Structure 1
Amino acid sequence: MTSVPATLAPPLHGRLIWAVAVALSVAVWLWGQALVPLAFDYPKAWEIPAARWIGDAITWLVKDAAIGPLAFSDLTRAFAAAVDLPYQAALALLADGVQRQEAGQVLQLVPPLPWLAVLGGIALFGLWAGGPGLAILTAGCFGFVAVFGQWHAAMVTLASIVVAVPLGVAIGLGLGILAWRHAWLERALRPLLDLMQTMPVFAYLVPILILFGFGPTAAVIATLIYATPPMTRITTLSLQRVPEETRDLARMVGCTPRQTLWRVLIPSAREPLMVGVNQVIMLSLNMVIIASMIGAGGLGFEVLNALRRLDFGTGLEAGFAIVALAIALDRLSQAVAHRAAPALPLGGLARRHPYALAGVVFVSVTALLALLFPIVQSYPPGAQLSTSSFWAAAVQWINITFFDTLEAIKTFFLVWLLVPVKRFLLGLPWLVVVAMLALTGWRLGGWRLAVLCGGLSFLIAATGQWEKAMITVYLCGVSVLVAMAIGLPIGIWVAERERWWAVTRAVIDTLQTLPSFVYLMPIVMLFRVGDFTAMIAVVAYAVVASIRYTVLGLQGVDPRLIEAGRAMGCTRWQVLTRIRLRLALPEILLGLNQTIMFALSMLVITALVGTRDLGQDVYIALTKANPGNGLVAGLAIAFIAIIADRLLAAAAQAQRSKLGLGGMS
């Protein structure tokens, strides 16, 4: 997300404005219901019928829109067919082979790649990219998938990743280059990318289904929408940060603009660009469960089925298989990013590309052996392991043994935290909230931020989403406060303890890559459905960001400042509170920002456990194939996310300026 310049008003003047604003807000809240009823209930007659407009627009696109002689729907279906070709090829290669239906039976004409061929090939790639350690790690991850009986589902998921990631990288790279070349395009793309990143995926599944049809191809397209924005942003940012001396050198040696871009600038920005590739891979893996709802299959379908049956053990195994794929692909992409490009040795193909040749030979030999030995083609079912019964029994034992304790905890949080906060927020006048958000934006970032915050919050009210939005804010706000209350102390404690930070980092990396649906199963089994269940699931998912950014901020404090504080006689507590935390505050605010983003993304998933917020509206719109309602509710969630992001970015920027730490991107 982008930063907003901080232009603060003079302190005395600012305090007076805040005092007047708060006094007026309290007055409207206490006596405005009788005097200014409009401030509490937005008039129905004035509501903007955005849902109907969006629904009519999509109907027009499908039925009447055309580009020349071709109908718009024909173009979308043609694009879907073009995406389907490489997907079917990857699916045949990795999972299904070449099949033919005959007399109601499926005949296997050519088998897929043997599991040993894929495992050995990925290990060779790891050896080339990062050495023996990475080869062992990647082979271990794929071996874990095979041992726990998830191989076929994992290969279906990998087939969609193999197609979605190159497309996402190519589209993001192209848009990023265009935005780097044309400043007006960057300004135009910025709000669009914000919406793509903050709008719940559920919201645009229905339009995708209507335009592109049901099936894996639609899932790949949904994944592209979700995963492309980071690549676009990183491409633009990395090209802007290439030193001017590098550009001057390219011009001095006579490079054309095309040569300067592809032979100088892109190679100079390789490391940050590979970070973008890594983000596309991770976000594509995050989409596998939601994509399974529209026909993608694979590991996401296994987790979704387990959720429907409340089979926690099976869902956890499929979730850990996704984690294993994520770890392997993440480490491989990072290794490629940091690998120095070696000089190609002279000689034949074997000397110039030994790893590629070894991979081709290994896969070919393994494919031939698979024709003779079935154990080479498929991992033997008798050697598979399963822990699903253990996990199911563990959750059942906890439920029976600690039922009264769990109910007491749930009741305490509902009575003393959740219900009071919910009633307070629902009782606030919408007009006062809009005005206060605009005032906060003006104080932190000037009139532009004031217009943005006030305008977006007004649109939420004007489209009839205010009550559901307040429930979303209540659930998100309480969950974020609990997540920060847990994550901040943990981050402070492990920041100075390298060994414990290594353990904590492994745990939070697993939590971040574990599919969000997996969190719901044990929580529903222990606490049943409701707002408390949603809060626990959101906290478990969002606490990762608060820990990570707290550690990042504390470890980034200049050690010389800490030593100076100790030399002046500061106690350990004073060093922490007056030096380290103060200097780490911008990163902690960024962590708060990311915690809010994680919480909002998880709230749409928790609609499955009975919440009554905007996420529920998005999910209901998906089940009823109502694109207008789904997109309006999704836009309201995106507006909440953008307001929170801009205000926190402005606050962090103001804090950095106050501390003399420079700007923040």
Structure 2
Amino acid sequence: MTVRTGKPFGGWLIWTLALAIAAAVWLWGEALVPFAFDYPKGWRIPAARWIGSFVNWLVKDAAVGPVAFSDLTRFVAAVIDKPYQLALALLADGWQVAEGGAARQVVPPLAWLAVIGIVALAGLWAGGPGLAALMAAAFAFVAVFGQWHSAMVTLASILVAVPVGVAGGLMLGVLSWRHPWFESLLRPLLDLMQTMPVFAYLVPILILFGFGPTAAVVATLIYAMPPMTRVTTLSLQRLPGETHDLARMVGCTPRQTLWRVLVPSAREPLMVGVNQVIMLSLNMVIIASMIGAGGLGFDVLTALRRLDFGAGLEAGLAIVALAIALDRLSQAVARRGYRAPLPGGIVARHPYLTAALALILLCFVLGLALPAVQGYPEAAQLSTSAFWAAAVEWINVTFFDTLEAVKNTILLWILVPVKRFLVGMPWAVAVALLGLAGWRLGGWRLAVLVAGLSFLIAATGQWEKAMITVYLCGISTLIALAIGIPLGIAVAGRERAWMVTRTVIDTLQTLPSFVYLMPVVMLFRVGDFTAMIAVVAYAVVAVIRYTVLGLQGVDPRLIEAGRAMGCTDWQLLTRIRLRLALPEILLGLNQTIMFALSMLVITALVGTRDLGQDVYIALTKANPGNGLVAGLAIAFIAIIADRLLAAAARAQRQRLGLEAA
């Protein structure tokens, strides 16, 4: 019998029969098949104990030859710590000597004016006067709002994590490109690195690398390296055959072909990977602050603990300023490419470097006499903390009854019923339905993958917490879709409106997720409703972005053809534009789910009872087994959603003739 896959929910007879059987098992099967409702404890896989034992073995007994594994990881930590301490001294703390139990600064760090001048020169070199002004404005914003020292501590860790992440991702990507078997082995690991909550592997990192900034850099590398690896492999695979032929014609060796021909030819997509490493590293600053990184992340975390929304917002906006500046600079470097140096002496050949060194020397000399040149004066700093605190307090007092009514209504009529429905669902029924969906969308391989991963969630005793995670993620995603798709439709055809919207969502996307929690907790207290609001605010960005991307990518000739046939604007939207944009909208749904799952781990701080709470409790108790098992369950949910939605998007493109079957 031949089964036609690729139709998202085709075969109504199959689905009707499957849902009827599922309903029968759900309603009357508890007496006949009780194990389908509650996975037997005696059958559970003791994954937490296995993982805990493995981590203990790594720390106490594992060795690489005569060297203990723990000594090796501490050596790696010491190697990473050296450039970090150099960057920290250069940007934030200066060079110090110990005197009588105290530290005395003998050489100050770079002056704030010197740093602003250097980044402005970098912008001028890469993108011209406009980028130079943006770079200077972003760093000046950090100084004016009193975030300079913390920002420089954060920048020091970024200057270490990004080069290591780029180099490591590039090497892994090259190996994946050269050896398909290595790519097959690496792809599942990259999926786990991108989907597993960072909280889940902080405990093993702390045990192996120690508490402090170095462990934070290692955690950042695990989180930020996968995009660089994927982009490297993909960009090398997509290079035209003519590039390889050219390298052979000029007699290049395999190494010369790779580093002198192929990698430079793939420069632009590789810089996209570099950009992603920078952005993800900045996204990690708050979580890294929990294990000793300090900087802006620590300021946001401290503000969250005090529920000081204003202070947290200012530190968060400083992170946004750094993200925007580094993002624009990396994009400009990718566009600029390589240019031969000018003829002449060192000054003529390297004018920007010469100007930067001269500026550093000038600011150092002036800073000895004028402290305001060395450090931004406190008297000139601004703060909006009191304003934001007063604004939230006014909203809370003025609209308390209305907010409580909205909260209770949504809790009673939406959140609680959906939660009871999913928690009461038999795990066996859910596994079977997911397997059927995978089979209809992508064949037996996808069916085995999604059914197997969902079964593992039940078999490790995580089913109930996983259903609470799915319920919060699902409702938040639906609300984000209800907000984001209409908004994306409204701005897609209006260039000025889209420019304003893009600026707002870029800011929201780079704003640390912890910042979203503070005003929501102050207005709604803790609980599932608070978590839902924070998740929606964080995840709606992806829906808007991909909806606009899909609608703007529709061929204008098809729109003109529709108008020529007499279609109304509504018909053009619903029958042409949205249908052709559906693959991109499905990808936006995929990204929304990923954002929601990542945010749900953060919302464990406000009282949710899902997998995120298990991950956070494991972190506080230094229990690597429980944390990694709960983190793996979240990663499995993310991978199931990703694979099903990717298959649905692929099937939609095939039906529209945009992709070969």
TM-score by length of 1: 0.98
User: In 2, are the aligned partners of 1:483 and 1:542 still within 8 Å (CA)?
Assistant: yes
- Provide, for residues 257-297 of structure 1, a one-character-per-residue CA deviation record: whole Å limited to 9, x for no partner: 11111111011000000000000000000000000000000
Aligned to 2:646: 649
1:371 pairs, out of 368, 373, 379, with 368
Amino acid at match of 2:76: F
User: In 1, are the aligned partners of 2:6 and 2:651 still within 8 Å (CA)?
Assistant: no
1:291-306 aligned within 5 A: 291-306=288-303
Q: Secondary structure at the match of 2:30?
A: helix
Aligned to 1:478: 475
Q: Distance in 1 between matches of 2:231 and 2:645?
A: 21
Aligned to 2:84: 87
- Provide, for residues 314-363 of structure 1, a one-character-per-residue CA deviation record: whole Å limited to 9, x for no partner: 01100000000001000000100111432332221222211111111111
2:209 pairs, out of 205, 212, 215, with 212
User: In 2, are the aligned partners of 1:231 and 1:277 still within 8 Å (CA)?
Assistant: yes
Q: Which moved more, 1:589-598 or 1:361-370?
A: 361-370
- Count of residues paired in the alignment: 659
How far the C-alpha of 1:369 sits from its partner, in A, is 1.4
How far the C-alpha of 1:438 sits from its partner, in A, is 0.5
Aligned to 1:567: 564
Matched, 1:253 2:212: no
Aligned to 2:31: 34
Aligned to 1:307: 304
2:126 pairs, out of 119, 124, 129, with 129
User: In 2, are the aligned partners of 1:299 and 1:322 still within 8 Å (CA)?
Assistant: yes
- Provide, for residues 482-503 of structure 1, a one-character-per-residue CA deviation record: whole Å limited to 9, x for no partner: 0000000000000011111000
* CA separation of 1:402 and 1:662: change in aligned 2, threshold 3 A: same
User: In 1, are the aligned partners of 2:6 and 2:647 still within 8 Å (CA)?
Assistant: no
Matched, 1:453 2:450: yes
1:398-413 aligned within 5 A: 398-413=395-410
2:657 pairs, out of 642, 655, 660, with 660
Matched, 1:395 2:379: no
Aligned to 2:592: 595
Matched, 1:193 2:193: no
Q: Percent identity?
A: 79
Q: Secondary structure at the match of 1:107?
A: strand
Aligned to 1:630: 627
- Provide, for residues 49-86 of structure 1, a one-character-per-residue CA deviation record: whole Å limited to 9, x for no partner: 00000000000010011111111100000000000000
Q: Distance in 2 between matches of 1:342 and 1:158?
A: 27
1:76-475 aligned within 5 A: 76-475=73-472
Amino acid at match of 1:181: R
Q: Secondary structure at the match of 1:34?
A: coil
Q: Distance in 1 between matches of 2:6 and 2:318?
A: 53
Q: Distance in 2 between matches of 1:12 and 1:580?
A: 22
Q: Secondary structure at the match of 2:31?
A: helix
User: In 2, are the aligned partners of 1:7 and 1:445 still within 8 Å (CA)?
Assistant: no
Q: Which moved more, 1:8-17 or 1:326-335?
A: 8-17
User: In 1, are the aligned partners of 2:480 and 2:543 still within 8 Å (CA)?
Assistant: yes
* CA separation of 1:12 and 1:580: change in aligned 2, threshold 3 A: closer
How far the C-alpha of 1:34 sits from its partner, in A, is 1.7
Q: Distance in 1 between matches of 2:612 and 2:7?
A: 41
User: In 2, are the aligned partners of 1:161 and 1:284 still within 8 Å (CA)?
Assistant: yes
Q: Distance in 2 between matches of 1:13 and 1:174?
A: 43
- Provide, for residues 177-196 of structure 1, a one-character-per-residue CA deviation record: whole Å limited to 9, x for no partner: 00000000011110000000
How far the C-alpha of 1:214 sits from its partner, in A, is 0.2
Q: Secondary structure at the match of 2:291?
A: coil
- Structure 1: 5+ residue stretches without partners: 1-5
Amino acid at match of 1:649: A
How far the C-alpha of 1:364 sits from its partner, in A, is 1.6
- Provide, for residues 298-322 of structure 1, a one-character-per-residue CA deviation record: whole Å limited to 9, x for no partner: 0000000000000111011000000
User: In 2, are the aligned partners of 1:549 and 1:591 still within 8 Å (CA)?
Assistant: yes
How far the C-alpha of 1:7 sits from its partner, in A, is 5.5
How far the C-alpha of 1:103 sits from its partner, in A, is 2.1
- Provide, for residues 526-560 of structure 1, a one-character-per-residue CA deviation record: whole Å limited to 9, x for no partner: 00000000000000000000000000000000000
Matched, 1:610 2:607: yes
- Provide, for residues 383-412 of structure 1, a one-character-per-residue CA deviation record: whole Å limited to 9, x for no partner: 000000000000000000000010011011
How far the C-alpha of 1:104 sits from its partner, in A, is 3.3
The CA RMSD over aligned residues, in Å, is 1.3
Amino acid at match of 2:538: Y
Aligned to 1:3: none
User: In 2, are the aligned partners of 1:653 and 1:663 still within 8 Å (CA)?
Assistant: no
User: In 1, are the aligned partners of 2:9 and 2:441 still within 8 Å (CA)?
Assistant: no
User: In 1, are the aligned partners of 2:304 and 2:514 still within 8 Å (CA)?
Assistant: yes
- Provide, for residues 625-652 of structure 1, a one-character-per-residue CA deviation record: whole Å limited to 9, x for no partner: 0000000000000000000000000000
Matched, 1:540 2:537: yes
Q: Secondary structure at the match of 2:627?
A: helix
Q: Distance in 1 between matches of 2:52 and 2:63?
A: 18
How far the C-alpha of 1:12 sits from its partner, in A, is 11
Q: Distance in 2 between matches of 1:27 and 1:166?
A: 57
Q: Distance in 2 between matches of 1:370 and 1:121?
A: 16
* CA separation of 1:223 and 1:9: change in aligned 2, threshold 3 A: closer
1:531 pairs, out of 521, 528, 531, with 528
Amino acid at match of 1:572: D
Aligned to 1:640: 637
Q: Distance in 1 between matches of 2:445 and 2:371?
A: 66
User: In 2, are the aligned partners of 1:487 and 1:546 still within 8 Å (CA)?
Assistant: yes
Amino acid at match of 1:288: V
1:550-561 aligned within 5 A: 550-561=547-558
How far the C-alpha of 1:372 sits from its partner, in A, is 1.7
- Structure 2: 5+ residue stretches without partners: none
Q: Secondary structure at the match of 1:189?
A: helix
Q: Secondary structure at the match of 1:33?
A: coil
User: In 1, are the aligned partners of 2:166 and 2:228 still within 8 Å (CA)?
Assistant: yes
User: In 2, are the aligned partners of 1:7 and 1:444 still within 8 Å (CA)?
Assistant: no
Q: Distance in 1 between matches of 2:215 and 2:428?
A: 40
User: In 2, are the aligned partners of 1:134 and 1:331 still within 8 Å (CA)?
Assistant: yes
- Provide, for residues 188-216 of structure 1, a one-character-per-residue CA deviation record: whole Å limited to 9, x for no partner: 11000000000000000000000000000
How far the C-alpha of 1:135 sits from its partner, in A, is 0.4
Aligned to 2:20: 23
Q: Distance in 2 between matches of 1:386 and 1:253?
A: 61
Q: Distance in 2 between matches of 1:663 and 1:162?
A: 43
Q: Distance in 2 between matches of 1:295 and 1:558?
A: 51
Q: Distance in 2 between matches of 1:129 and 1:320?
A: 24
Q: Distance in 2 between matches of 1:61 and 1:205?
A: 15
Q: Secondary structure at the match of 2:294?
A: coil
1:575-594 aligned within 5 A: 575-594=572-591
